[in-house]
Amino acid sequence: TIATSRYVSLGSVLGSLATIVSGLVFFFVDLAVPSFFIRVSFPDLFFLVIAPSLVILFHYDNIGRLLSGTERKIGQKVQLEEKPVTPTNPSSNAQA
């Protein structure tokens, strides 16, 4: 995702979602099929859901910028807003 879109926050959020989904799948498959090769205990599941959820929560502002199309990409230069130059009035600095 990062290589194609160049959005680091998008990769972080999608990776976190994939971790949550795969943790839930492995946990419930392990309950249904006890001989399943991947064992996910309840404490493991807790960590596999809470930690990625915090990553998504901390990316709240980034998600908003992604949806509005204003999130910067890797390698994209920051565009500074130029303020209009106003001529200074030399008499305004003079003290009376």
Q: Is residue 96 part of a domain?
A: no
Say what the pLDDT of residue 16 is: 94
Q: What is the mean pLDDT of the chain?
A: 80
Q: Is residue 94 part of a domain?
A: no
Provide the domain limits for residue 37: 2-68
The pTM of the full predicted model, rounded to 2 decimals, is 0.68
As a whole number, mean pLDDT of residues 28-53 equals: 83
Instruction: Provide the domain count of the chain.
Output: 1
Determine contact, residues 40/48, Cβ cutoff 8 Å.
yes
Q: Is residue 28 part of a domain?
A: yes
The tokens for 4 are: 């194609």
8 has a pLDDT exceeding 70: yes
The tokens for 81 are: 């807003």
